[in-house]
Amino acid sequence: MNEHSFTFPLLHNTIGIMTPFLLAATGGLFTELAGMLNIALEGLMLIGAFFSVVFAGLTGSLFVGVLLGIASAMLVAALFGAVSLNLKANVFISGLATNLLASGLTVVLAFQIFGNKGVVRFEIATLPSLSIPALARIPILGDLLIGHNVLVYLSWLIVVLAAVVIYRTPFGLRIRGTGLGAPTITSLGLKPRRYQMAGILISGFTCGLAGAGLTLNLSAFVPNITSGRGWIALVAIYLGNKTPWGIVIASFIFGFAESFSNYAQGATNIPADFILAFPYLLTVLAMIGYSIWRHYRDRA
């Protein structure tokens, strides 16, 4: 076995695995920039995962499933936003509530509709893969970039779009302004709450899509299928220093760690659990390093 046959699938899988992190983190970035801690990414993703596959199964159309999965996640995001912004609940607690609601609601509904709390399978088509010839022609990277499902490419478009919106539009400026301090925004006659709500709804949109990717890939729903991916996405926002490009790199690191741990059992002596713990340790070290740097910079 040559070196290439091991590294290639490792990297190719990384690109698939990182997609839910990338999507959820990109949406979560809008909430974060608007000055709100979005702990609900996990729950919103789970809602998207459940409803997209259920609706795809009911209608027989993946497209309708994805759309309604996104709509469901946005609906729950709206609830999260309304409780946090209008009822003025602590955003951290209402985020936990959203996660708890999502894990409870999906299992209760699965049990009610399918009489089953385990894996629910659906007779639906798998997500179509795309082979974009233009990408294949890129030297070295080309082979890695082709043959992924359509949501992977959509996630790249969304990241680019997010970067443009955040840095090049008045809306993005206002979202960032809201996060820097509400008075600036109110003095312009704008409502900070509206931009925070927009940030939450955007995170609902991307989390819904991220969740749809998880279940439609399997053509099945598994309870708690997100298994901490929303939390990793939140961490990716911090590791990525709250920029879209940083999030791409952070998501790649998390995706690589998971991809590597899938291979590691047979290939190396490092236990898979250590590899799974590694991105968290890396992030906490990066955070500490960053705060040390800031600490001494402010002193000087």
Partner 1 sequence: MKRTRRVGELFAGTLGLLITLGISFLIAIVLIFLLSKDPLTTIYYFFVGPFTNKYYFGNMLNAAIPLVFTGLGIAVAFKSSVFNLGGEGQVYSGALVATVIMLALPESSGYLGGPVALAAGLATGAVLAGLSGFFKMKWGTDELISSFLISSAVVFIVNYFITGPLDDPGNSMLATYAIGKQYRFLAIFPPSKLDISAVFAILAGVLIFFLMYYTHWGYEMRMCGLNREFSRYGGINVSTFVVLPMIISGALHGLAGAVAIMGTYHVAVKEFSFGMGWNGIAVALIAKNNPLGVLPAAVFFAYLDAGAKAAMLHSDVTFEIAAIVQSVIFYLITAQAIYSFLRYRKRAPS
10, 75, 78, 89: which one binds partner 1 (CB under 8 A):
89
**Closer to partner 1 by Cβ: residue 115 or 133:** 115
**297 in contact with partner 1 (CB under 8 A):** no
Stretch that binds partner 1, among 10-18, 171-179, 202-210, 283-291 (CB under 8 A): 283-291
**136 in contact with partner 1 (CB under 8 A):** no
**138 in contact with partner 1 (CB under 8 A):** no
**9 in contact with partner 1 (CB under 8 A):** no
Question: Which distant-in-sequence residues (6+ apart) come within 8 Å of 262 by Cβ?
Answer: 13
From residue 166, give the alpha-carbon distance in Å to each of 77, 171, 285.
20, 7, 27
**131 in contact with partner 1 (CB under 8 A):** no
Stretch that binds partner 1, among 15-23, 79-87, 135-143, 150-158 (CB under 8 A): 79-87
Per residue, the 3-state secondary structure of the chain, as one string, reads CCHHHHHHHHHHHHHHHHHHHHHHHHHHHHHHHCCCCCCCHHHHHHHHHHHHHHHHHHHCCHHHHHHHHHHHHHHHHHHHHHHHHHCCCCHHHHHHHHHHHHHHHHHHHHHHHHCCCCCEECCCCCCCEECCHHHHCCCCCHHHHCCEEHHHHHHHHHHHHHHHHHHHCHHHHHHHHHHHCHHHHHHCCCCHHHHHHHHHHHHHHHHHHHHHHHHHHHCEECCCCCCCHHHHHHHHHHHCCCCHHHHHHHHHHHHHHHHHHHHHHHHCCCCHHHHHHHHHHHHHHHHHHHHHHHHHHHHC
**Closer to partner 1 by Cβ: residue 98 or 203:** 98
From residue 293, give the alpha-carbon distance in Å to each of 109, 280, 284.
49, 20, 14
Question: Whole-number minimum distance, CB 74 to partner 1, in Å?
Answer: 17
Stretch that binds partner 1, among 88-96, 133-141, 169-177, 209-217 (CB under 8 A): 88-96
**215 in contact with partner 1 (CB under 8 A):** no
**Closer to partner 1 by Cβ: residue 164 or 288:** 288
**277 in contact with partner 1 (CB under 8 A):** yes
| Residue 35-54 contact track with partner 1, rule CB under 8 A, x = bound | --x-----------------
**Closer to partner 1 by Cβ: residue 37 or 222:** 37
60, 228, 265, 268: which one binds partner 1 (CB under 8 A):
228
**171 in contact with partner 1 (CB under 8 A):** no
88, 137, 157, 170: which one binds partner 1 (CB under 8 A):
88
For residue 62, which of 73, 52, 75 has the smallest C-alpha distance? 52
7, 86, 129, 227: which one binds partner 1 (CB under 8 A):
86
Q: By the criterion CB under 8 A, which residues form the site for partner 1?
A: 37, 83, 86-90, 92-94, 96-98, 100-101, 103-105, 107-108, 111-112, 117, 228, 231, 235, 238, 271, 273-274, 276-278, 280-281, 283-284, 287-288, 291-292, 294-295
